[in-house]
Structure formats: C-alpha cells, structure tokens
Structure 1
Amino acid sequence: QPVPDGKGARLAPARGAADPIAEEVQLLRAMAVAAGVLYNASKQSQCLQLPADVNFDGIWDWQFCTERLPQETYFPLEAETTMFWDRPYGEEKIVEHCRKKYGIEPRPNWIAATTGFGDGRRYTGSSFKAEAAPGGASNIVFSNGVLDPWRSGGVATNLSDSVLAFTVEEGAHHLDLMWSNPQDGDSVKRVRDAEVEQMRLWVRGGQ
C-alpha cells in the first residue's frame, strides 16, 4: 500500500520490505533494512527508534481494549524459542493493562455479538451472516488485499446483492482507500471503481 508521508516512502512497502531478505544470507541486517522501508523512509536515521509507548497496540490501544477480538492477544514474545526478549502478555496481563490505563474492562466478544460476525463469542470473517447483525446488514463492501495479513479474517465472498466482497490482487492493507497513484495496479483501480458505483447505488436507493 502507499505510505505518502512526505518523506519519500516507496509506493509498495510490502514488496520493498521483502526484497533484501530474499537476496542474501545476512538476515538480521536485511530485516533492519526491511523495517526501514517504513520506519526510515527518509533514509536519514542511523537507528530505528523504539516506540515510546511499549504497551500493546500503540495508537490503537484504546480500540484494542474496547473492541479486541477474543483470539487477538497480539503475539506475545518469548525468549526461549525466538531472538526476542520475554514479553508474555496473556489474557490476565491484557485485562490488568486496560483497567490500569483506561479504567475499563476489555470486551473481547463485542464485535462478534453486535455485528453478525461469528457465533457471538468468536469472530471469523468466513462466518459473517448479514441477517445476524442487529437489524440485518446491507450496503457493505468488504475489500481484501492479497498482500494483507489481515485478509485471513476477511469476508471473501458476496453475501447478498448489497453485501459484497472485492479482492485487490496487488494490494496490501487498505490500498483501495488511499488516493490514486500513477503506479496503481489494474486490480485496485477496478475495485475503487466498483466501490464508487456501489455507493452511487446506495445513495440512489435512499432517495
């Protein structure tokens, strides 16, 4: 996906991040270069800065605490089998963190219980049922970028005439929502056109 941040980030960082890893054996050095595709887009930093907020999900932390999926614990790290330091965040630590930082109880079942996803306890995109959402569901487009890791939980097939799924073959996360770029591939152009046409139909239907 594009990351037009004014600092020269390349159009497709997902591809750029993988390029050096595929070439040579200096894996750790290559991983640093890969991370720098996003975190050192200006190519001016000698070191990549660790985030000041080391808790859980950074800028998404509030949403993580209030709308977290029950199977989503953000990949706790451990030192025994990986190169990382121990960071064993499990359910108890997450609850403790959300209570301490925001004074709230996490709601891991909220998405499944209020949207028609899953069985009310566990979210899965493949189990979305439009009729199970409060009041039913209509006028929704689910877009899935083939390069997006979140695609594994996405809705991949049309569920009705107005609940549609589109696939962006060359896309990573939310590429269809970014502004156009001369290097955009044909698939994202087609998906954007289809999304705009759906919105036109929704507006006409509501008039």
Structure 2
Amino acid sequence: MWQFGEKINALIVFAEHRYYGKSLPFGNDSMIGRDHFGYLSTEQALADFAELVVHLNQEASTPRSVISIGGSHGANLAAFFRMKYPHLVAGALASSSTLKKFSNITSCDKYSQIITSTFKNAYNEHCTENIKKSWTVLKDVAFAEYGVQFFNEVFNFCEPWKAADPVNNFIYELNSIYWHMAMTNYPYEADVYTFLPANPIRKFCSNLDENYDGQELVKALRRALDVYANPKGEKKCFEFPKRRLMQESDQKAWSFQRCTELITGMCEGTNNNMFPPDNNNLQEEIKGCKSTYDLPVERYVNRIRDHFGVEKLKTATNIIFSNGLLDPWSAAGVLRTPNDESIVINIPEGAHHIDLRYSNPLDPPSVTQAREVEELYLKKWIRQFRRKTYNFM
C-alpha cells in the first residue's frame, strides 16, 4: 500500500480499532464491566471509521475516493467496511481474510492440513513424518531415566531442566512455531513475530530429511529449531525467542471479541495432519468463553455471519479477496469469486498477506502478478467512484 499509495498520490490513514492501542474510551477502566466493554464490536468500530472518512472528506476541497485495505482480521474489517458503507468506500483489498471461518463450513482441522502440506512440499515427506513422530518421541525420551540429562546436553537450555515436566510446554511451543513459520514463510528475511531467514520452512525441513527416531530424532529436531530460535547463530544457549504480542489491554480486548463475535472452533491432531491430537473444537471454545465472561456465548457464534452475510457474499461488490495458499488461514479465505463484481486472487507461492508487503526482488511471479491485478482493479474502482460522485454533484 505504501508503494501503490505513492504511485496514485494517495493519503494513507491508519485508524485504530476502538479498545486497541490508545483508543480506550474509558481509559484504564475500558475492560471493566459490561457497561464499559459492551461498546466493543465490529459494527461500532466500522462506524468509527465511517465518521473518520466523513471528517476527512469535509476537510478536502473535493471528495476523496476511499479504498479500505487490511490483512488477516484487518482484511475482514476492510471487506466489511466496503459492504456496510458502499457510499463512502470505493473498494477494498482484503488480503488473507478469514471470513469463511464464521460460517462454520470450514473443517476445524483444515488449517493444520495446510500447514502439514506446506512443510511436506518444502523439502520432502520425511519432514512431516518426523514431526508427527516427534510428539510421542519427545515425551518418551524426556521421561526416560536418562531423559533430563540428555535434553540438557543436546539443547544446552539457557534454563536447564530439572525434571521432565517442561517437555509438555516444549511441545505446546512447537505447535505455535509451526503455525508462525507457515504464516511467515516468505522468500526473503522477515521480522514479524520474530526474525526468520528466507524460506524458513525449507531450511527447517532440510534438517529432518531422513527417517529419524528416538534420540536421533530429538537431535535432528534440535538442529532444525535453530532456524527459528537462533537464525543468526548469535545465541550461546537454547531458548525460544519471545514473540511480539499485543499489549495487555489489547489482549483483553481481543479475548472479549473472540468470545462475543469472532468465536470459531479449531482443532489440530487428526490422521490428516502432523499435529498431536487435541480436544479443541467449537464447544470447547464456547465453554472456555463462558467461564471467562458471564455472557450467553452460544448466541454469538453466528453473529458475524448473520450481520455481514459472509456465507455467500453474493451482494459484496468491489472487493479483492487475495489468499496466499501457503498460509494456514487460507482455509477460511474466500477462494472462489462470489459474483461478477468482486475479485479473488489466489497466490500459490504466498504466505500470510504477502501481497501487502513491500515488493522484493525475491518475490515469486505469482505475488508480483497479484499486485499488478490489484492495482488495476483499485484504480478502476477509484475512477468509477469519482465519476459517480461528480455526476451526482
């Protein structure tokens, strides 16, 4: 958007979503009690953006054409903004949206299947086979008589294990790492959740390129994890890097939104993927939300679907839905054109909203082509919006 914005001499505005960042309507009390956090919703946030657009256009000598742009959940907001306020927004670019997860038609393990496929195709099938075996092997080796000493010697932990119990947190961390690597599997160095080298999954899997087992599998996994935990080779001991997370107030806001309008079931371990079995599903998520908030959570499961019609999107116009097919969130993306007035661009070599990033000489052709198509349509919709506005005036 920086490069495209400069090309068309656009004003680029980043507007905070209410209850995030510094936009706390009740200050430090914003997340205390329903009378405070009850104003946190997608509809109200979109209304804020609409007010901002009206304000900016009042200050302009001529009405501006507006394009809403977002990635991930921001992609959902960008699409909703165009759908809700078509008289204010000329078009939208929704990159790596997750709209289909709100219609309950996406299989709960589809995300994990895509991650597994990405890892499998990055090097060879031994990688995913070894990862799938590793969940049992890690526990078996850790709880063996020699386990704690072996792990400390192989990993050289910055905080040595004194018992085998940390292996459970270790396994949980691996789950997150595989997710983040799939989302940020870019063809160049990137620093999103943490710094990663170019093509991180390929580099990771190059260390799991044979059929390993037992202690040898643990050693191979240790070598592979350096791609994520020590990509620059600067650390003298092993620890997982601290990922960039939201500030405390943002985390509270996100938790509330997840339970009141963004609730959706996800699961991981099945025969179709490389992850360990888990009990996560829609009912488990509802149960967890009800224990946190004294609210009728069941009523909110289809809230986004019913308010914005995300199941079919037949009335959505002037929206580009782009999806990186290496990205696990593409499982919930809009992969087929809903009508003749919206566009779907699927990027086979793309990770999470790669098309929104700065162009790079290492970009695959499919990414470059996606940006070119996006520019054509956005320019077209801007022209159309201006023509309609001036003719009306």
* TM-score, with length taken from structure 2: 0.38
Distance change >3 Å, CA 83–CA 156, structure 1 → 2 = closer
Mean CA deviation greater in 12-21 or 167-176: 12-21
Distance change >3 Å, CA 153–CA 61, structure 1 → 2 = farther
Structure 1 SS opposite 2:209: helix
Structure 2 residue 238 is matched with structure 1 residue 47 = yes
Structure 2 residue 381 is matched with structure 1 residue 169 = no
2:257 matched residue in structure 1: 66
Q: Give distance in 2, aligned partners of 1:171 and 1:185.
A: 8
Q: Which structure has greater helix proportion?
A: 2
2:373 matched residue in structure 1: 194
Structure 2 SS opposite 1:179: coil
Q: Give distance in 2, aligned partners of 1:87 and 1:10.
A: 33
Mean CA deviation greater in 31-40 or 154-163: 31-40
Partners of 2:324 and 2:330 within 8 A in 1: yes
Identical-pair percentage: 25
Residue 50 of structure 1 deviates from its aligned partner by: 7.1
Q: Give distance in 2, aligned partners of 1:171 and 1:52.
A: 22
Distance change >3 Å, CA 140–CA 39, structure 1 → 2 = farther
Q: 1:93 aligns with which of 288, 294, 304?
A: 288
Structure 2 residue 191 is matched with structure 1 residue 5 = yes
Q: 2:310 aligns with which of 117, 123, 140?
A: 117
1:130 matched residue in structure 2: 314
Residue 17 of structure 1 deviates from its aligned partner by: 3.3
* Letter in structure 1 aligned against 2:207: P
* Letter in structure 2 aligned against 1:94: C
Distance change >3 Å, CA 34–CA 60, structure 1 → 2 = farther
Larger radius of gyration: 2
Residue 195 of structure 1 deviates from its aligned partner by: 1.0
Residue 105 of structure 1 deviates from its aligned partner by: 6.8
Structure 2 SS opposite 1:20: coil
Partners of 1:65 and 1:105 within 8 A in 2: no
Q: Give distance in 2, aligned partners of 1:202 and 1:88.
A: 42
Residue 156 of structure 1 deviates from its aligned partner by: 1.4
Residue 35 of structure 1 deviates from its aligned partner by: 4.7
Structure 2 residue 190 is matched with structure 1 residue 21 = no
Q: Give distance in 1, aligned partners of 2:317 and 2:290.
A: 34
Structure 2 residue 217 is matched with structure 1 residue 37 = no
Partners of 1:36 and 1:48 within 8 A in 2: no
* Letter in structure 1 aligned against 2:308: T
Structure 1 SS opposite 2:233: coil
Note the residue ranges of structure 1 that are not aligned, 5 or more in a row: 77-81, 119-127, 132-136
Q: 2:326 aligns with which of 135, 139, 147?
A: 147
Structure 2 SS opposite 1:142: strand
Structure 2 SS opposite 1:167: strand
